[in-house]
Amino acid sequence: MKAEEFAELVPHGDPYALFDRWYVEARVGEPNDSNAMALATATPDGVPSVRMVLLKGHGPDVCGQGGFVFYTNGRSRKGREILANPQVALLFHWKSLRRQIRIEGSLIPVTEEMADAYFASRARDSQLGALASDQSAPLDSRATFLARYEEVKERFEGRAVERPRHWTGYCVTPRAFEFWHDRPFRLHERRRFTRDEEGGWTSTLLYP
């Protein structure tokens, strides 16, 4: 095994800064949806569910306390589970880069101003779809959904689409990061960062 294969690829430091470096590379190298992340939620009695959402903001100063932002229908299954149990986990998996990042933490809603600003930036058809969809509710046929979409489209013809109050964003504040980097022969490199009582970060390597 060559010496460079032993070089440390996941150093100790600021986990937000390390995320930024990896994310910039993913935005260039990952062919589809480099901002996609798996969001795991659970009911109060611990029944889990997971789905993909899109990262729409991140950093140590986001939402005043640092975090990772996504938007969704608050009446959906994930929205109901978030309301009942704000403890969540995120997973970024960039297969082309052979890397992944796990994030654990709790979340809070974004401000009304943030939600309004992001909703206004969306494509108009996406805005209309948000109003037409009762996300996660049973649907008798796709024709019903498309008819509701056409009704909403007609209702807002010639004027701005209003953000529904139940459509909003959430900010996940990390208490732990785990960075995983693929290495030859499954001798992978893993480092876990944990927030300390002063708001800084400690870290340790983990066996792969």
pLDDT in tens, 26-50: 999 888 899 999 999 999 999 999 9
In a domain, 120, yes or no: no
The residues carrying an active-site annotation are 186
**pLDDT tops 90 at residue 159:** yes
Domain with 92 in it: 3-112+165-206
In a domain, 141, yes or no: no
Query: The CATH number of the domain where 183 resides is what?
Result: 2.30.110.10
In a domain, 79, yes or no: yes
In a domain, 56, yes or no: yes
Confidence grade of residue 3 (pLDDT, cut at 50, 70, 90): very low
Counting the structural domains of the chain, the total is: 1
Q: What is the pLDDT of residue 158?
A: 93
Q: What is the pLDDT of residue 105?
A: 97
Give me the long-range contacts of 55-60 (CB less than 8 A, separation at least 24). Answer: 55/92, 56/118, 56/169, 57/171, 58/16, 58/19, 58/23, 59/16, 59/20, 60/14, 60/16
| pLDDT tens-digit map of 143-154 | 999 999 999 999
In a domain, 191, yes or no: yes
Name the token pair of 94.
């960039």
Short-list 77, 93, 94, 92, CA closest to 41: 77
In a domain, 103, yes or no: yes
What's the rounded mean pLDDT across residues 87-116?
96
In a domain, 32, yes or no: yes
In a domain, 18, yes or no: yes
- Summary mean pLDDT of the chain: 93
Q: Residues near 18 by Cβ (< 8 Å), separated by ≥ 6?
A: 10, 11, 177, 179
